[in-house]
Amino acid sequence: MSIVHRSRRPFDDVDCDLVDGRVASLNLDNRRLRMRKRREYDAESGDRQNPFQNFHLAPHRKFLTTFEVHELLQSANILCWRAFANIKGKCDRGKMLIELGQTTQTGLEKTGGGSPSSLYVNLRAMVFDSVGPVRHEVSIPFHDSQVRGAALLIQTGWDQRWGTEAYWEPGPFLADHLIFRAVRAGSRLLGVDFPVTEKSSETRMITSGKIAIVENLKDLARLPRLGFRFTVEPLEGSSGEIRAVRAYAEW
């Protein structure tokens, strides 16, 4: 009759060091086996290289290096800038110039010297958005220190009607308090993309009031909101308080 000692576990007499060694040996063998199979797989499918291990050898790469991404972005920026420069604008040594006037005369040779041209050249300018191409009183928010000595260009989108009879229908108009605030702040001029006086086929500057106003501008939507210069030059043969001008922006 055998006596079973319940306090003794069945594996107490097993050499743990021997077990650990064999387990480690088995894990090493499994890892070597996986590596060998991986090498065989890579050798059989040479056209499917690991993009991380042999990135420069991969025939069809799905990943780009940081340098390549930077080069592509720079190329895209250059192409975008050139395309933008070719759309109704001129690019001269890195400067962008956009004509903003609805005039029948173009070119500097058509501009005449006069006092207004010397007063409104290379002005710091900014664009403000109004309600839209509908009949409304134009009023824009600004701080006096923000617009002191600057040209305020107001975009309503009314210039989209240029060339049609709808352009001369009742549209946006300048609020009296806006003109008062612009004069109080020391702004140089106001520019708008809608008519202020009677019907005309050109962009004109009105100097009869307390502040100069340039009417019938176009393409204000293509300008940045800040950081550009605005110039108004009278056209040859125009004089008086209301005169045809050439208006353009550059940055």
Contact present, 196 and 241 (Cβ < 8 Å): no
> Is 209 in the same domain as 164?
yes
CATH number (domain holding residue 179):
3.50.30.50
| pLDDT tens digits, 166-179 | 999 999 999 999 99
> Is 107 in the same domain as 193?
yes
Q: What is the dihedral of CA 163, 164, 165, 168, to 10 degrees?
A: -50
Greater confidence (5 vs 76) lies with 5
> Is 35 in the same domain as 141?
no
Give the least confident one: 100-104, 110-114, 168-172, 200-204. Answer: 110-114
| pLDDT tens digits, 208-244 | 999 999 999 999 999 999 999 999 999 887 778 999 9
Domains identified in the chain, total number: 2
Is the per-residue pLDDT at 51 higher than 50? no
> Is 130 in the same domain as 210?
yes
> Is 101 in the same domain as 193?
yes
> Is 116 in the same domain as 24?
no
**N-to-C CA span, the chain:** 107
In a domain, 206, yes or no: yes
In a domain, 86, yes or no: no
> Is 24 in the same domain as 132?
no
> Is 100 in the same domain as 181?
yes
Whole-number average pLDDT of the chain: 76
Q: How far is CA 205 from the centre of its chain?
A: 30
In a domain, 183, yes or no: yes
| pLDDT tens digits, 113-164 | 444 456 899 999 999 999 899 999 999 999 999 999 999 999 999 999 999 9
In a domain, 74, yes or no: no
Q: Which domain holds residue 41?
A: 16-57
> Is 32 in the same domain as 125?
no
> Is 44 in the same domain as 118?
no
In a domain, 207, yes or no: yes
> Is 132 in the same domain as 214?
yes
> Is 104 in the same domain as 170?
yes
In a domain, 3, yes or no: no
- Nearest alpha carbon to residue 102 among 151, 152, 161: 161
Is the per-residue pLDDT at 89 higher than 60? no
In a domain, 76, yes or no: no
pTM above the 0.75 mark? no
Strand, coil or helix: 52: coil
In a domain, 137, yes or no: yes
